[in-house]
Structure 1
Amino acid sequence: MKSPSESYFHLHLVSDATGETLINVGRAACAQYANVLPIEHVYPLVRSMKQLERVLSEIESNPGIVLYTLVDKEIRERLKVRCRELGVPYMSVLAPVVQLFQSYLGGEPTPRIGGQHSLDASYFKRIDALNFTVMHDDGHMTEDLEAADVVLLGVSRTSKTPTSIYLANRGIKTANIPLVPNVPLPSNIESLKAPLVVGLVASAERIVEIRQNRLLGLNAGGSSTSYTDREAVSEEINFSRRLCARNGWPLIDVTRRSIEETAATIVALLAERRRRAIAET
């Protein structure tokens, strides 16, 4: 139900590529306004005047803020002119950044449509990392964990899999190992040298809540097991804390963290680890 204090506005995101940059920027800006909700209109792959005219018709029908990333000058100018005629605010989200780069680096940029999505070495690195991560999800293929960049450990419902996939999309090969009561860990886990091993924990209350919701979703809400028992869950968490402390592995409490925040912390730990390794050589 809509709160009486909430209001809506139309947000038009016009891109000649996938629109991911616009979506992220738009949502980051909207997040600063707790009681204002955007109605997103996303228009990817706008690369012709005919496509643009359909976009302009939508903007005219639903006036609001227009954000765009368009390389073609003619299409870009047509959008700007029409927005001025309609009296709607508009902005190129990359223009200020590109201007800053230009003032520092000198010379003219050479724009490419969807340049950040080109099939370069970085792209294939991400694909390789995603393949590795999918194959090493939830404790599978543990015999070659040494090939991972990051190994995540945690009890059930600490967001190991989504965090692994998010890291993989950054080109980081990630394996994740569940910590299950009475199930032994892979024999090689405590002797790993190459990967950064990170433990994920959350409060017992949070884990119990998530597990109960999961059982309800599986129509097993009436089951009474140690899976949702507060004391049993607390012991699982304590075991994971002791394991990480014994091996000197960093531990991240994900109770109030988003997957993006957890991943950012892991990326920072990985960067610091690599800096130390370089300094020691």
Structure 2
Amino acid sequence: MEYITLNDGNSLPLLGFGTYKASEEEAIESVKLALEKGYRLLDTAARYNNEEAVGKGIRQSKVARDEIIVATKVWRETLGYDNTMKAFETSLKKLNLDYIDLYLIHWPANAKNYSKWQEVNAETWRAMEELQDQGLIKSIGVSNFWEEHLDALFETANVKPAVNQIEFHPGYWQPELTQFCRDHDIVIEGWSPLARGKVFGNDLLKQIAERHQKSVSQLCLRWALEHGVISIPKSTTPERIEENLHIFDFILTAEEIQAINDIPEMGFSGELPNNWPDRSS
């Protein structure tokens, strides 16, 4: 496993394990297996309704807590200082942990839902900074924040976000936002790294994967890694969970990376931070 250092001095693995849409039994078993196979970053969220199961999977594994990096998120309908404090306490209890390694704002407040969206995000962030000061969170970050949301947050934040978790995959990798975050020393985490399964039907990806004697999923995860982006694929299949780990023994050429960069829009979720609640996830 390879790690990347955050702007707060903490480190994250360049490959994590996602739990989105995993049922209770699936989450427990897949988390336990993922940890035993070598994953060390687990990604969940209050909205996923499986924090308790993720916590059980951690405890049932044979991996020590201090070796595991647990990330969870405050949902967009419980933003603001007081709501965030309560939401964090709930997540901590459900996970049955003493602290959270990485806590994110799942989606930014926007003008459609908050008359003073900048203030709502700022107050949410203030709560997270206080929780970090108390030692209850190691690193704080955001998710699905565009440049405008980050610029507004910079005006009041005492701590710069360590991470921005965004949709990032072949066919939709938000290069301008990715560069903006890189310029501000914010690490990108990519959700939906396999484009909701659309990558498996792409001929170019198949050809490049075959060239390296790798699977298409391994290729996509390696491509993200080449961009310095953390991927958090989700799987409940033991073979796929293990397969996804084997991305550190090959590299892509500059031409291959550019060819993948240039893939037309594919697998985009349709989720946009300023459009909710038009979408539900």
Instruction: Report which structure shows greater RCO (CA 8 Å, sep ≥6).
Output: 2
Q: What TM-score, normalized to structure 2?
A: 0.26
Higher helix share: 1
**TM-score (norm: length of structure 1):** 0.26
Larger C-alpha radius of gyration, 1 or 2? 1
